[in-house]
Structure formats: structure tokens, C-alpha cells
Amino acid sequence: MINKKLLSFDRGALRYVELNVLFQWLGMLCNVVFVKAVAGLIGAAFAGSLTSALLWQQLVLCLATVPLRFACTMLAPCAAASTQSLPALAPTTPRRRPPARW
């Protein structure tokens, strides 16, 4: 979840949040394409209509989405980590521990 109140304090952080969400959506889209390609392969194999052209097409599609998904997975935290260099919005106070009850 995105805390909109925190983003209202610093509009510069919104760019990094948008990049993080974009990379996550692209990664999810790669997952959808990969699963559709694998399901098409399995469906064609069971239906008996699997041709070498279809096999190569689906394999190339699968092999193209895996590195793209990996890149999106690696870039999403990098976009979010860029916001950590921004100054703190408010001073933090340590939490007090409740007294021990014996």
C-alpha cells in the first residue's frame, strides 16, 4: 500500500514510487505472457496439434519473458531504494517498552 499522506510531504518521492509500480506491473505482464505461452504449449500437446513452428514460437516467447521478468524484479527495489536517500520527514522517537510483569 502507498501512504498518500507521506507522499504529500515530498513530491520528489512520487517519481520513485511510480517507477517501482511500473516495474512491478511490467513483471506481472511478463508472468501473464509466460503462463499463456506454457498453457498454449500444453493445450496443443494434449490436443495433438503441436507443430514445430508453434513449439519454437512459444519457446522463444517463454525465453524472452524470463530475462525481462528478472530485470523488472531487480529494477523495482532499486527504484524504491532511491527514496531512502531523501531526508527524513519527521524526527523519529524510540518506542518505549512496556514494563515487565512478573
pLDDT in tens, 31-78: 999 999 999 999 999 999 989 999 999 999 999 999 999 998 888 887
* Contacts for 37 with CB less than 8 Å, ≥ 6 apart: 58, 61, 62, 65
pLDDT of residue 86: 47
Q: What share of the chain is helix, strand, coil (3-state, %, to 5)?
A: 75, 0, 25
Q: Model-level pTM?
A: 0.67
